Structures are given as structure tokens and as C-alpha cells.
């Protein structure tokens, strides 16, 4: 399709849609000065183009999987800024910092521009024809079970096409991997509520008790939850919502809590059972299950004072409905499933089901609904690689060489695969190991559909459309690549689709009626779809079901002190950098971490009390050693962490990716032990134990806060009032 | 001039807006930021980078204090956290405060500029004229909020600030600043002017909500309101009024009532009498837990 006479951009122009049409007049990395580009005024400008005036096109943000709809400002063929699309029930016109930086993904100077074939240590530029032929050749005679396809979460038509391609090559090994997926929480929710991700109504709750769910920062759908949070603070029936956050390392959500409760790492489930016990409203099976968890014992094991447990229980009793959330801090242990089950039980006990925990809708097309990534998939892939099972390995939208725990030795195992193909935006750590690297279009250049895992209101399919002409001539959309590959096998079935755009359009028009375009003709429906950027539908609702009892519910006690490795390592999830795939976007590197204000680097958070014990001061380079390995990193004294734990943020420590990422900070994944949740097989991210020793070196920490630390000296400019003093419901 | 003379006859010496013959009409841009809603997520700051062509200075220059973030999130712990005899943990969370140019009505930066590069506009903005600025940095020294940023380097020609591809993202409505000039938050003046021109061509004034600043538009919790303070229909006007904060006073109702009040609105460093155009709403925390 690539070399056919048909130009999809021309087609677009005919259609009168997409910012791309304007861009035909010239952009890319040429300049007027070098003579490759000339200034030509519009003799006959397209109707909607006025030089100097921005035109806005709707699309979907691809910086994370939350599925926020965006509205891109396009001027003279270039996309300048992304705003939220107010029509989307998910983000309602809002964006996060990560989403804002989407343009830096698109314009990134370190994107891969040509297909590269390994020649020793170097990548040699080859043509797409050769690349496709090479894949066909490498797949020849290879059995389906000898092929592995690793990807991040996929949804929409890309998922359908990928499934068909894998089917055509007989590959049954599709590993869907997300380094930071809430895998254990999904499984626990499925048991407790009957769905993996129910709809949470933070805005309807009077109390939110969150066990390590960083819903304002990096959990599931942060922009959506942030808006709910704002409503929750204004209050239901005039009563301002109260947020209690239980976690061992303060997250952004913890920093916004009315009460932040530092709990001994891993004992979140015990505290949940202790609260059920203190509520004293249960009987029968549940009461029997929590009988042992009296205040004295719970307090001893969790480190939470008995008075606090009483206060929480009293508040939960008094103010209903409440909402209990279980997040990544509680699930990250070998007993993560048990923790999550105990915490979810609280929602049943408090009667929140059906009020603040509601049935989620799903898109009525199962073939488009998201295939969610988890970390158990990485383990099976790694085991297969270690056993030398795979002759051909594909990788798309995942960077396991960077994000796999060091103990897995993923990079070494990957080397055992015969032929490795990476579909990549950047030469990241995993792409560098590949034999063939195929450059992808940016999310602002590509077509697609997306269905988010967390649907806010009804169901929706998000449309992704190019906001401008491709920056680099030799990148391709993932859909286009898959379509070409599938034509190698099933030419007849796909011969009607010139390219992915044609496929997508045809697929959407086929279901016009079901997608709400029953009364419209094809062009009108398609144009309306692209204009809106979202197809809303009522969706099918699965009623909540699931276990309400407590049978088989046990939570192990707090771990005994480990003399050799006395501290728990908590990999911190930074709101901007997440799993590290966006670390090469300089705005994000220069955006201070909200809690420490550190930029362009990694750090280890140590509680001041523990630091004093170890003789560590800010800026000391310390060696953090686990059973798997060790890394050296600057110390930052942080009061928002349990003294038995330390935390290093993930996302930094790249050895590749690009100029803004490579060589900054350290990668804590490298020293993570391979410990798994016993029930789900998900990686227990918080289970690694470490020791810390000084190296004698010291640096000045590069951060935004002053030398005085995060304290207000002299006059206070940011104060705090108590709820006794104000009534927010009376405010404007 | 003695200090006592200065203090006694303050009003004669202080240049203050609006001056009698030029009242704020029809615009006075102002903001209010609800710190109870603000989560400290930094979206506003990144949106500002995107809108206003702010350079990314890199690690080394950041360490030297050369960062150019017009909008920054200040982050504080309570005083007694981690102190001797104080609390071990910040168990009531942290404090976040978005800080940018407060567009003061009697701006300390304006009076010290030797060349008049920074001055007041009729619609109540503290403007910065880049091609008049000679880089004395007096304004930066005199700004009590530390929100003025100096171009120590020529960022457009500095490696890796705007590599060729990234120059295409630059907002054509905003000047890219060169070495030796001062810059700061403008309340997204390019958006304000576009809205004003559009309104004027229709013979009306800008409606509330018609123009948003980049930070306001991004803010996931809608903590930032922005609008025309002299428009009684605007949200900002209503908020200021409800909080009894008056732009030309240095003591507000909140400060004058003893033993606390229901009012949350305050302005920062009001007692220095810069008469800032940004009102903050104090953070609230539950007393029952």
C-alpha cells in the first residue's frame, strides 16, 4: 500500500478533513534558508484555513491509556498545542502535564526515522519493502508456537487487526504487558464486584478511604478522578468530602489527604480488617473473620495508633456513602491479592456497592474492548525466552529491557530469541536489542480507534486522527504495518483496503447503525465522527455481583525484621514519567516531582529519622543493595515515608531512548527481585528488600525548593483552615 | 526623604492603578486559585511551557537557578514536621501553591525599571516589553514573589533547547525571547488580545469564560478561575466579592476579624502593598480525623 499511487493524504484533502490537508503546503525539517522549502502564499486556500488563525481538530491522547480526548490547535499545517476536548465525559476539557507534552513526543528529535536492520552493533537503513520481505522470510517455516508477540495494552481496531494477523501466522503467544498495570486490583475487583474495574464515584462519596490508590497522580484515569475529586471537595449535600490515604510512601493523592496514614509496608490488608472489626457492624462470617483483628493487634502490626483506627471507623459510620479504593501500594506484595480482597470487603461492609461503586459500562463490541496489560505476561514471555522457545519475537509499545525486574535477566533471555522485530518510536533499550526496528508514526500523525479501560459515563470509542502531515517520510502507522503484514498471508480478505485509513473507515461504516449514525449517509456519518472525535453510546452494563462474604480471607502478619536487608524498597511512580516511556520529553524532565521538587534525576527518599540513624544527609550518594543488585543514587530526606521503607522513583536511568533521557538518574527496576503475587502471578513490585550504605560522596540535589527545604519561613503564604471554620457549599 | 515621611505620606509616593483619570474599563484581568482543589499535579506548569515558548534549560542550568518556569508549584510541609518535638509525619498532607506573576496593581518591579520596559496596561496587566528591556534585572530583585525570569543564555541557539523539529511547536503568537531580557507570566496576553479583538469587532466586551489562560484550561481540578474583575457577571468578580477581597486594600475582612472567619480568600504578601491581582482560597482540612 505504501507505494501505490493512492495517497491517503490526498484522499483526506478530498474529504476536507484532518489538519494534514493544509500541511501539504510544506513542513518537515527543511527550511526556507536551505532552499528545500519555498514560501508560497495560498492562491486558493482550503475553506477553513486562514493564515494566522488556529484550526482545532479532535483526537485522542496517547500518552497513557486513560483515553482523554484532545483538541489539537493546528496552524499553517503544524500542531502547536493540545487542549482537552470538553465533550469527553472522561476528561471534560482537561489535560494533565503528561498529555500537554504529547506534542514533544511528536516533534521529538530522537524519533526513529528509517527502518533499521542490525549489522553487528549498528543499524543499517533499509527500505520498507525489504523490511516486510525480511519478516515474511523469517516467518517462513516457523511454527506458531515459536513466535511471540509482546505488546502494551491494545484496543479498538488495531487490536482486531493484530488479532487477525497473529491468527494468520498461527501465533498464540500474544503477551500483553504493562509495567504499571493494576493487575492484582483487577483480579480482586473481579472477585469482589464481578467486574475488573467498576465505576468509582468519588464525587458522590462523603469519605474516601484510599489504600495507596494514587488517583490524582498516576492511577487508572487521573484526569477524570481529579475532576471528581474537585466536586468531592465541594461536597455532597453541603458536606465537604474527607480523604484518608493509607500508604507507606506518600503519593500526590496522599499529599492532598485530610489524614495521611503511614502504615508499615504490606500491612494494608490488616488495617482494613482492623477497621471492619472496629466498625462492629458485621455479623456471621465476616465478623468471625475479623474477630482476631482487634485494635491492639492491628495497631502493633501496622504501626497505626489505636486512636486513629477508632476515628476512621467512627467517621465511616457517621458519613455515608463512603468509598474504599485499593491501589498499587496495597497490591504490590506477595500477598497483594489478600490485601486487595480485605480492602474491597470494606466496601461491602459499608454498603457502598451500588452507590459509590457502580457497574461499569462496556462497549458493545467485544472485539474492540481493551486487552489489558499485566506483569504476569512478562513472566511467561521471559520463561519462554529463557527456554529458547521463540524463533521470532515482535515487540510493540513495551520496553521490557528497561522495565523488567533485574532478577528476571530479561535482556539476556531476549538474546536467545532468533529474530527480534521492534515497532518503535524511539531507539529505546528494547529496540536496541532488536534485529529489525520499524519506525512508527507519532500519535498525532496516525489513524486509530481506542477504547479506554475506565469508561466514565456510558461507553465510548475514541477516534485518533492525524493532526498534521507526517514529519518524517519513512515512518508508518502501526495499523498500516499490520495491514501490509496480514496481506502477506491473507491477501484476498484485505485486498479492498488500500491502507489502514480505508480499513478503519470501512469498518466504522459497516457498523454505522450501531454507532449512532443510522440516519446519516456514509460521508456525513464519517465526517461527524471525525469532527467529534468520540463516538458515545449507552453501552452494555454488567451488573455488579461477586462475593460479599469473607470465606478464605486471610492476611499474613507483618514481616519479621530482616537483619541483612532491613528496608522495603518502594518504586515510586512519578506523575509525569510513569513507567519511563516518556522520559525523553524535556518538559516532563524539567517538571519538578510534586513532592520533592527534584528535576532531571533520581533520588532515594529516606525518612529523616532513619537517615539520622544511618548518618545520611541530603545529597549523600548512597548505595542501595538488594538481593538482585545495587544502584547508587542521591539521598533526599522525605518525611512522607515510613521509616522502614525507602523509595526510588521509576522512569529515570535510561541507557538509551534519547538525549533528554539517557544518562539521567538510575533505574530501580534493575534491582527488583522477581517476587510474585501468590494468587495472580503478578509482579510484587513493593516486595524487594534492600539495605542502604553511604559511599562517602555528596552532591547538591537539583530541585526547585529552596535551601530552607520545604518549610515556610517567616510569613506563611499557604495556610490551612479547619472544616469547622468554613462552609464550602456557600461559596461561588 | 526620611523614612517616617515615606511611611506617613505613603499614598503620595506610591504609584497605584487604576489611577483616577484611567479607571479599569472595561477590563481588569484577575485570577483566583482554590488551594483546596489544587492537587499540585503540575499540569498548569507544563501547559504554560507549551503555550508560551518557555525554554527547557536542562539539569546544569536548573542547578544554577536558571529555570524559566513562569508558573511553578510551591510545595511546603508543616513547620513542625520532622522537627525536634514536632510531628514525625506530614499526616495532614502537604501544601501546594501555584505561583506566577501576581500582576500587581502597584508593582514593585515597575518602579525600578530604568528603561520603562515593564509597566502597567490599561486592562490591569503588568506587561514586559522585551525589546525595550536592557537586562538590568532590578525588577527581578524587587519582585517579592520571585516570579521574574532572566534569559542568561540565548536559548533559541542553545543546543537541545529547541532542536530543528521542536521549533515547529513554537507558538507563533508568542515572541521567542533572546539573551539578556527578562520575562514572566503574562496571563496569556496573546489569548486576551485575540479575545478582545474578536469581541470588539462584534461591538461588545469579552464574556466570562470566553478566554482562558493556558494553566486554567489544563487544570484537572478546575482550581484556577480567570476573568474580568470589573465585569459583575464574571466568576472571578463573584468569587472576590464573596470572599470580601478588595483589590485596592491591603487589609481584608478576613484579616480584620478576630478569632477566625469563614472567609478563605487572601492575597500573598498583601502587607507589602503590591495589590496583587491573584486571590488564593485557603486550603481546608477535616477536623474530624
Q: Which of A98, A608, A721 has its CB closest to that of B284?
A: A721
The full set of domains in chain B, from first to last, is 23-281 (3.30.70.20)
Rounded mean pLDDT of A404-414? 96
**Res. A245: pLDDT tops 90:** yes
Phi-psi region of B137 (alpha: psi -120 to 50; beta: other; left: phi over 0): left
Radius of gyration for chain A, computed over Cα atoms and rounded to the nearest angstrom = 26
Domain at A116-179+375-439, CATH class: alpha beta
Please give the pLDDT value at position A16.
31
Please give the pLDDT value at position A435.
97
What residues of A are in contact with residue B265 (Cβ under 8 Å)? none
Q: Average per-residue pLDDT in chain A?
A: 90
Count CB atoms within 10 A of the CB of residue B38.
Answer: 26
**Res. A432: pLDDT tops 90:** yes
B9/B151 Cα distance (integer angstroms): 37
Please give the pLDDT value at position A18.
38
The band of A666, judged by pLDDT with boundaries at 50, 70 and 90, is very high
Report pLDDT digits (tens) over A78-94.
Answer: 999 999 999 999 999 99
Rounded mean pLDDT of A370-377? 94
The band of A4, judged by pLDDT with boundaries at 50, 70 and 90, is very low
CB-based contact B249:B274 (threshold 8 Å): no
Rounded mean pLDDT of A124-150? 96
Please give the pLDDT value at position A13.
33
CB contact under 8 A, A720 and B95: yes
Q: Which of A80, A592, A726 has its CB closest to that of B169?
A: A80
A431/B189 Cα distance (integer angstroms): 44
Please give the pLDDT value at position A251.
97
Q: Which of A5-9, A162-166, A212-216 has the lowest mean pLDDT?
A: A5-9
* Cα dihedral A694, A698, A703, A707 sign: positive
CB-based contact B74:A595 (threshold 8 Å): no
CB contact under 8 A, A216 and B56: no
| pTM of the model as a whole | 0.93
- Looking only at the bridges linking them, the beta strands covering A361-362 and A540-541 are antiparallel
Which neighbouring-strand residues pair with B279? B32
Q: Which of B56, B90, B287 has its CB closest to that of A587?
A: B56
CB contact under 8 A, B283 and A719: yes
CB-based contact A442:A109 (threshold 8 Å): no
In CATH terms, the fold of domain A184-362 is Dimethylsulfoxide Reductase; domain 2 (3.40.228)
Q: Which of B50, B282, B288 has its CB closest to that of A315?
A: B288
Report pLDDT digits (tens) over A536-563.
Answer: 988 777 778 866 666 667 788 777 778 8
* Nearest chain A Cα distance for residue B20, angstroms: 30
Residue with cell 479547619: A722
CB contact under 8 A, B72 and A704: yes
Q: Which of A169-173, A689-693, B255-259, B285-289 has the lowest mean pLDDT?
A: B255-259
The band of A22, judged by pLDDT with boundaries at 50, 70 and 90, is very low
A452/A197 Cα distance (integer angstroms): 11
Residue A730, classed as helix, strand or coil, is: helix
A490/A584 Cα distance (integer angstroms): 38
Please give the pLDDT value at position B66.
95
The three cell numbers locating residue A270: 490488616
CB contact under 8 A, A100 and B218: yes
- Looking only at the bridges linking them, the beta strands covering B95-99 and B72-76 are antiparallel
CB-based contact A548:A341 (threshold 8 Å): no
Phi-psi region of B196 (alpha: psi -120 to 50; beta: other; left: phi over 0): alpha
CB-based contact B41:A96 (threshold 8 Å): yes
* Chain A contact for B257 (CB, 8 A cutoff): no
**Res. A361: pLDDT tops 80:** yes
Please report the ipTM that was assigned to this predicted complex.
0.94
Instruction: Report the run of H or E that residue B283 belongs to, with start and end.
Output: strand B283-285
CB contact under 8 A, A592 and B73: yes
**Res. B192: pLDDT tops 80:** yes
**Res. A46: pLDDT tops 80:** no
CB contact under 8 A, A230 and B223: yes
Alpha helical stretches, state H, chain B: 3-8, 10-13, 43-52, 59-63, 108-112, 138-142, 164-167, 189-201, 214-218, 235-242, 253-256
What residues of A are in contact with residue B163 (Cβ under 8 Å)? 109
* Chain A contact for B96 (CB, 8 A cutoff): yes
Please give the pLDDT value at position A39.
65
More confident site: A718 or A486:
A486
Cα A611–A617–A623 angle (5° rounding)?
A: 75
Instruction: Classify residue A516 by its DSSP letter.
Output: I
The three cell numbers locating residue A277: 472489626
* CA end-to-end span of chain A: 57
Phi-psi region of A330 (alpha: psi -120 to 50; beta: other; left: phi over 0): alpha
CA B271 from chain centre, in angstroms, equals: 17
**Res. B270: pLDDT tops 70:** yes
Three-state SS for A284-338 is: HHHHHHHCCCCHHHHHHHHCCCHHHHHHHHHHHHHCCCEEEEECHHHHCCCCHHH
CB contact under 8 A, B218 and A229: no
Cβ-based neighbours of B34, under 8 Å, separated by 6 or more = B223, B224, B225, B281
**Res. A656: pLDDT tops 60:** yes
* Nearest chain B Cα distance for residue A387, angstroms: 43
Q: Which is nearest to A451 in space by CA: A374, A378, A369?
A: A369
Cβ-based neighbours of B8, under 8 Å, separated by 6 or more = none
A548/A344 Cα distance (integer angstroms): 9
CB contact under 8 A, A226 and B49: no
Q: Which of A262, A576, A720 has its CB closest to that of B282?
A: A720
Rounded mean pLDDT of A108-130? 95
Residues 134-173 of B with CB under 8 A from A: 160, 163-166, 168-172
The three cell numbers locating residue B165: 523539529
Q: Which is nearest to A251 in space by CA: A287, A227, A226, A215?
A: A215
* Chain A contact for B11 (CB, 8 A cutoff): no
Instruction: Report the run of H or E that residue A504 belongs to, with start and end.
Output: helix A500-510
Q: What are phi and psi of B183, to 5 degrees?
A: -145, 165
The band of A29, judged by pLDDT with boundaries at 50, 70 and 90, is very low
**Res. A34: pLDDT tops 80:** no
Cα B32–B112–B55 angle (5° rounding)?
A: 60
CB-based contact A477:A440 (threshold 8 Å): yes
Report pLDDT digits (tens) over B28-48.
Answer: 999 999 999 999 999 999 999
A605/A613 Cα distance (integer angstroms): 14
Instruction: Classify residue B54 by its DSSP letter.
Output: P
* Nearest chain B Cα distance for residue A491, angstroms: 37
Please give the pLDDT value at position A37.
62
The band of A25, judged by pLDDT with boundaries at 50, 70 and 90, is very low
* Chain A contact for B193 (CB, 8 A cutoff): no
Count CB atoms within 10 A of the CB of residue A77.
Answer: 21
CB-based contact A571:A685 (threshold 8 Å): yes
CB contact under 8 A, A255 and B96: yes
* Chain A contact for B67 (CB, 8 A cutoff): yes
Domain A8-107+456-469+511-537, architecture per CATH: Single Sheet (2.20)
What residues of B are in contact with residue A216 (Cβ under 8 Å)? 39, 41
**Res. A35: pLDDT tops 80:** no
Please give the pLDDT value at position B130.
95
A100/A582 Cα distance (integer angstroms): 12
Q: Which is nearest to B41 in space by CA: B218, B270, B275?
A: B218
The three cell numbers locating residue A518: 443510522
DSSP result, A42-95: -SS--TT--TTS-EEEEEE--SSTT--EEEEEEETTEEEEEEE-TT-TTTTT--
Rounded mean pLDDT of B145-163? 96
More confident site: A343 or A282:
A343
**Cβ burial B206-239 (10 Å sphere, 16+ → b, else e):** bebeebbbbbbbbbbbbbbbbbbbbbeebbbbbb
B48/A140 Cα distance (integer angstroms): 52
Rounded mean pLDDT of A517-532? 92
**Cβ burial A49-65 (10 Å sphere, 16+ → b, else e):** beeeebbebbbbbbbbb
CB-based contact B191:B211 (threshold 8 Å): yes
CB contact under 8 A, B42 and A591: yes
* Cα dihedral A721, A722, A724, A728 sign: positive
Name the percent of chain B lying above pLDDT 70: 94
* Chain A contact for B92 (CB, 8 A cutoff): yes
A115/A584 Cα distance (integer angstroms): 21
The band of A21, judged by pLDDT with boundaries at 50, 70 and 90, is very low
HSE-up of A446 (CA within 13 Å, CB side)? 24
CB contact under 8 A, A640 and B282: no
CA A173 from chain centre, in angstroms, equals: 23
CB-based contact B220:B32 (threshold 8 Å): no
The band of B14, judged by pLDDT with boundaries at 50, 70 and 90, is low
Rounded mean pLDDT of A260-269? 95
**Cβ burial A570-593 (10 Å sphere, 16+ → b, else e):** bbbbbbbbbbbbbbbbbbbbbbbb
**Interface-testing mutation among A25, A79, A258, with chain B (most B C-beta atoms within 10 A):** A258
Domain ranges of chain A: 8-107+456-469+511-537, 116-179+375-439, 184-362, 567-698
Please give the pLDDT value at position A33.
57
CB contact under 8 A, B82 and A608: yes
What residues of A are in contact with residue B284 (Cβ under 8 Å)? 233, 240, 720-723, 725-726, 728
Please determine, looking at this structure, whether the domain spanning A567-698 carries the CATH number 2.40.40.20: yes
What residues of B are in contact with residue A595 (Cβ under 8 Å)? 75, 94
Residue A653, classed as helix, strand or coil, is: coil
Instruction: Report the run of H or E that residue B183 belongs to, with start and end.
Output: strand B182-183
A689/A562 Cα distance (integer angstroms): 8
Rounded mean pLDDT of A24-46? 56
Strand order of the sheet with strand A55-60? A55-60, A69-75, A78-84
Report pLDDT digits (tens) over B56-112.
Answer: 999 999 999 999 999 999 999 998 887 778 899 999 999 999 999 999 999 999 999
CA A691 from chain centre, in angstroms, equals: 29
* Chain A contact for B64 (CB, 8 A cutoff): no
**Res. B258: pLDDT tops 80:** no
CB-based contact A669:A402 (threshold 8 Å): yes
Phi-psi region of A708 (alpha: psi -120 to 50; beta: other; left: phi over 0): alpha
The three cell numbers locating residue A141: 517455516
What residues of A are in contact with residue B170 (Cβ under 8 Å)? 80
**Res. A457: pLDDT tops 90:** no
Please give the pLDDT value at position B209.
93
**Res. B122: pLDDT tops 70:** yes
**Res. B16: pLDDT tops 70:** no
Amino acid at each position: 500500500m505504501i507505494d501505490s499511487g493512492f495517497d491517503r493524504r490526498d484522499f483526506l484533502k478530498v474529504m476536507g478533513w484532518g489538519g494534514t490537508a493544509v500541511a501539504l503546503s510544506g513542513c518537515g525539517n527543511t527550511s526556507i534558508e536551505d532552499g528545500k522549502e519555498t514560501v508560497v502564499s495560498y492562491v486558493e486556500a482550503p475553506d477553513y484555513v486562514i493564515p494566522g488563525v488556529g484550526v482545532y481538530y479532535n483526537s485522542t491522547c496517547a500518552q497513557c491509556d486513560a483515553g482523554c480526548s484532545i483538541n489539537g490547535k493546528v496552524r499553517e499545517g503544524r500542531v502547536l498545542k493540545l487542549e482537552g476536548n470538553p465533550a469527553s465525559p472522561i476528561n471534560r476539557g482537561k489535560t494533565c502535564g503528561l498529555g500537554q507534552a504529547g506534542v514533544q513526543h511528536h516533534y521529538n528529535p530522537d524519533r526513529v526515522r528509517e527502518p533499521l536492520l542490525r549489522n553487528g552493533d549498528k543499524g543499517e537503513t533499509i527500505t520498507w519493502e525489504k523490511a516486510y520481505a525480511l519478516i515474511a522470510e523469517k516467518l517462513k517455516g516457523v511454527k506458531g508456537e515459536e513466535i511471540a508477540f509482546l505488546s502494551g495494552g491494545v484496543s479498538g481496531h488495531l487490536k482486531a487487526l493484530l488479532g487477525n494477523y497473529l491468527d494468520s501466522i498461527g501465533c498464540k503467544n500474544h503477551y500483553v504487558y504493562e509495567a504499571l498495570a493494576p493487575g492484582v486490583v483487577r483480579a480482586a475487583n473481579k472477585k469482589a464486584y464481578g467486574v475488573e474495574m467498576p465505576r468509582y464515584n468519588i464525587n458522590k462519596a462523603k469519605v474516601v478511604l484510599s489504600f495507596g490508590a494514587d488517583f490524582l497522580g498516576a492511577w487508572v484515569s487521573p484526569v477524570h478522578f481529579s475532576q471528581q475529586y474537585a466536586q468531592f471537595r465541594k461536597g455532597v449535600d453541603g458536606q465537604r468530602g474527607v480523604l484518608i490515604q493509607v500508604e507507606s510512601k506518600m503519593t500526590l493523592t496522599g499529599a492532598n489527604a485530610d489524614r495521611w496514614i503511614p502504615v508499615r509496608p504490606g500491612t494494608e490488608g490488616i488495617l482494613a480488617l482492623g477497621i471492619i472489626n472496629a466498625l462492629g457492624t458485621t455479623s456471621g462470617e465476616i465478623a468471625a473473620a475479623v474477630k482476631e483483628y482487634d485494635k491492639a493487634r492491628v495497631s502493633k502490626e501496622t504501626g497505626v495508633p489505636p486512636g486513629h483506627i477508632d476515628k476512621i471507623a467512627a467517621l465511616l459510620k457517621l458519613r455515608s456513602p463512603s468509598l474504599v479504593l485499593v491501589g498499587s501500594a496495597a497490591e504490590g506484595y506477595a500477598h497483594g491479592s489478600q490485601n486487595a480482597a480485605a480492602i474491597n470487603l470494606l466496601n461491602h461492609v459499608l454498603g457502598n456497592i451500588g452507590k459509590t461503586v457502580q457497574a461499569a459500562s462496556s462497549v458493545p463490541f467485544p472485539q474492540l474492548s481493551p486487552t489489558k496489560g499485566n506483569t504476569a505476561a512478562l513472566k511467561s514471555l521471559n520463561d519462554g525466552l529463557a527456554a529458547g522457545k521463540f524463533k521470532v519475537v515482535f515487540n510493540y509499545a513495551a520496553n521490557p529491557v528497561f522495565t523488567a525486574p533485574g532478577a528476571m535477566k530479561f535482556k539476556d533471555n531476549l538474546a536467545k530469541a532468533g529474530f527480534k522485530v521492534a515497532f518503535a518510536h524511539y531507539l529505546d533499550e528494547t529496540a536496541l536489542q532488536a534485529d529489525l526496528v520499524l519506525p512508527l508514526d507519532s500519535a498525532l500523525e496516525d489513524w486509530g480507534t481506542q477504547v479506554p479501560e475506565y469508561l466514565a459515563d456510558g461507553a465510548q470509542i475514541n477516534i485518533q486522527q492525524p493532526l498534521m502531515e507526517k514529519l518524517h517520510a519513512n515512518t508508518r502507522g502501526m495499523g498500516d504495518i499490520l495491514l501490509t503484514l496480514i496481506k502477506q498471508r491473507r491477501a484476498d480478505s484485505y485486498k479492498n483496503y488500500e491502507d489502514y485509513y480505508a480499513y478503519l473507515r470501512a469498518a466504522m461504516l459497516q457498523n454505522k447503525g450501531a454507532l449512532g449514525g443510522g440516519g446519516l449517509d456514509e460521508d456525513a456519518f464519517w465526517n461527524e465522527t471525525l469532527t467529534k472525535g468520540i463516538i458515545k453510546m449507552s453501552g452494555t452494563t454488567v451488573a455488579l455481583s461477586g462475593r460479599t462474604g469473607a470465606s478464605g480471607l486471610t492476611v499474613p502478619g507483618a514481616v519479621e525484621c530482616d537483619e541483612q536487608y532491613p528496608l522495603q524498597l518502594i518504586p515510586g511512580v512519578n506523575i509525569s514519567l510513569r513507567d519511563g516511556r516518556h522520559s525523553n520529553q524535556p518538559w516532563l524532565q524539567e517538571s519538578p516531582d510534586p513532592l520533592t521538587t527534584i528535576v532531571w534525576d533520581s533520588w532515594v527518599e529516606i525518612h529523616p529519622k532513619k537517615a539520622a540513624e544511618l548518618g545520611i544527609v541530603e545529597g549523600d550518594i548512597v548505595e542501595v543493595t538488594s538481593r538482585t543488585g545495587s544502584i547508587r543514587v542521591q539521598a533526599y530526606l522525605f518525611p512522607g515515608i515510613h521509616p522502614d521503607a525507602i523509595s526510588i522513583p521509576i522512569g529515570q536511568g535510561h541507557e538509551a531512548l534519547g538525549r533528554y533521557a539517557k544518562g539521567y538518574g538510575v533505574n530501580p527496576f534493575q534491582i527488583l527481585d522477581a517476587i510474585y503475587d501468590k494468587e495472580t502471578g503478578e509482579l510484587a513490585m513493593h516486595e524487594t528488600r534492600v539495605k542502604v550504605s553511604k559511599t562517602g560522596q555528596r552532591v547538591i540535589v537539583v530541585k526547585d525548593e529552596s535551601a530552607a527545604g520545604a518549610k515556610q519561613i517567616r510569613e506563611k503564604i499557604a495556610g490551612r483552615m479547619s472544616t469547622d471554620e468554613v462552609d464550602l457549599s456557600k461559596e461561588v | 526623604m526620611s523614612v517616617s515621611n515615606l511611611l506617613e505620606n505613603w499614598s503620595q509616593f506610591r504609584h497605584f492603578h487604576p489611577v483616577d483619570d484611567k479607571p479599569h474599563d472595561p477590563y481588569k484581568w484577575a485570577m483566583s486559585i482554590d488551594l483546596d482543589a489544587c492537587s499540585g499535579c503540575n499540569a498548569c506548569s507544563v501547559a504554560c511551557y507549551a503555550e508560551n515558548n518557555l525554554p527547557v534549560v536542562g539539569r546544569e542550568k536548573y542547578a544554577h537557578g536558571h529555570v524559566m518556569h513562569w508558573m511553578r508549584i510551591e510545595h511546603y510541609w508543616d513547620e513542625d514536621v520532622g522537627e525536634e518535638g514536632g510531628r514525625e509525619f506530614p499526616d495532614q498532607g502537604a501544601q501546594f501553591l501555584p505561583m506566577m506573576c501576581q500582576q500587581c496593581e502597584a508593582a514593585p518591579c515597575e518602579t525600578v525599571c530604568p528603561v520603562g520596559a515593564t509597566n502597567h496596561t490599561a486592562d490591569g496587566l503588568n506587561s514586559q516589553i522585551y525589546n525595550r528591556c536592557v537586562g538590568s534585572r532590578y525588577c527581578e530583585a524587587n519582585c517579592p514573589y520571585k516570579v521574574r525570569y532572566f534569559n542568561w543564555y540565548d536559548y533559541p541557539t542553545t543546543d537541545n533547547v529547541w532542536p530543528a523539529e521542536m521549533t515547529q511547536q513554537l507558538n507563533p503568537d508568542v515572541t521567542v525571547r533572546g539573551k539578556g531580557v527578562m520575562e514572566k507570566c503574562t496571563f496569556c496576553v496573546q489569548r486576551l488580545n485575540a479575545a478582545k479583538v474578536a469581541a470588539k469587532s462584534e461591538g461588545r466586551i469579552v464574556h466570562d469564560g470566553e478566554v482562558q489562560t493556558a494553566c486554567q484550561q489544563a487544570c484537572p481540578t478546575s482550581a484556577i478561575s480567570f476573568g474580568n474583575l470589573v465585569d459583575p457577571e464574571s466568576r472571578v468578580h463573584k468569587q472576590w466579592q464573596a470572599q470580601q477581597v478588595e483589590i485596592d486594600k491591603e487589609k481584608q475582612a478576613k484579616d480584620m476579624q478576630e478569632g477566625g472567619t469563614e472567609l478563605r480568600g487572601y492575597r500573598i504578601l498583601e502587607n507589602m502593598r503590591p495589590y496583587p491581582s491573584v486571590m488564593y482560597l485557603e486550603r481546608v482540612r477535616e477536623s474530624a480525623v
